Chain A
């Protein structure tokens, strides 16, 4: 399996651990990732907040480059995935827009490249194959699967899993030998891009998520988005201060959990980059 790889800005900086663990587990599973040469930022929330044409054109340039590679695109970042897929859907619904946008980016594009979140590709491989790669069971890990918003919403755009009660991450975690915690906040919003500009909103929303995970009996979270992960992990001590509640919940990228179960070394998965130390849950929660 060969895909064009779109890491996006986060995976080259704040989410380096997501990049490392993605590359490591894909290698194990025989998924070849070829980084899109000279890729640009997808525009994230800021482009669609201010200018519709810009929010379509920026992702389209990456898709046009991917088309010359003859490959479909994997975007591990849920926000990048959503922006690229939205852009693709918009031009496929409207041939006039496609022509105008191709002109705008100065590159031809057919609209035919597929954009997939990494979790969809893992899902496609199937839990049987995943289980064959597992060398260490994550037995005492009680994981709250946290999908966030943009991976599954809106369903007509993402065409991935269920928008209210998604299962792909749950199934993967079970295949790794860990316990999935049943909780109602799988797809609640963490406040995403307001982290810097309106921090108190993010603190409130992440407090709701973290305390619900704790009450449901989780001892860690699995995330699939760099923004979600940084709000839950980087901001966790701020939330604890603001709300006077101690969570101590490591927020793993799901690829890190896969890597641990596959027996890969922690440094190759960027485990040392987590702010909330995973040491305790891993020493008590991993067998073999």
Chain B
């Protein structure tokens, strides 16, 4: 594989994440502790290596960047002081900005649906958010029984709470997502 423009991509992710990705020396500590490595396509240490050598496309198209739950185990244990969870955030943000189709569509759809709920009401309203997620993901029948049991336990609020400061929240979304 030809490596081109590596410095540019590494610089870009370094700036966006605020993390010195170049200083990773591949000890593998991040991968050893990663709770989702068992199901991922590339390992966390491979993510930093790919950023270093400028393998933009494969890293931005990886399932790993979406599977990362941000548990901060890698960040806590990195002997080079790289906050890898922030690098994962920066890679997802870059992938979205470049309109790269997420390799884990259910996860990205969930995040978008969650944030849309916050944008509309200022808080998350589980019932409407989950209904919307089901429609968008096409995953209509999962967890219906669980939802019913939660409802019976009074764990789902029926009526959404709307903030007085909804317009403030809307402004924050407009300014950050540049809508």
On whether A54 and B73 interact (CB within 8 A), knowing A9-B124, A191-B35, A238-B146, the answer reads: no
Within 8 Å by CB of B175, from A41, A52, A104, A197, lies: A104
CB of B61 to closest CB in A, whole Å? 16
Number of A-B contacts (CB under 8 A): 162
Query: Judging by beta carbons under 8 Å apart, are B169 and A155 in contact?
Result: no
Binding-face segment, A11-19, A130-138, A212-220, A245-253 = A11-19
CB closest chain-A residue, reference B89: A48
Q: Which positions 99-146 of chain A face chain B at CB distance < 8 Å? A: 104-106
CB under 8 Å from chain A, chain B span 124-171: 124-126, 130, 133, 137, 142-143, 146, 149-150, 153-157, 161, 163-165, 168-169, 171
* A14-B156, A104-B175 known; A48-B70 Cβ under 8 A: yes
Tell yes or no: B56 within 8 A of A by CB.
no
Q: Is the CB of A49 within 8 A of B156?
A: no
Number of B positions contacting A (CB below 8 A):
60
Chain B residues lying within 8 Å of A234, measured Cβ to Cβ, are: 146, 149-150
Q: How far is the CA of A238 from the CA of B93 in the complex (A)?
A: 33
B73→A153 contact, CB < 8 A: yes
Q: Which residues of B contact A58 (CB under 8 A)?
A: 118, 169, 172
Shortest Cβ distance from residue B39 to the other chain A in the assembled complex, whole angstroms: 6
Q: Are A201 and B92 in contact (CB under 8 A)?
A: no
Which residues of B come within 8 Å of A, CB atoms?
Answer: 16, 35-36, 38-39, 67, 69-73, 75-76, 83, 85, 89-90, 92-93, 96, 104, 106-107, 109-112, 114-115, 118, 122-126, 130, 133, 137, 142-143, 146, 149-150, 153-157, 161, 163-165, 168-169, 171-173, 175-177
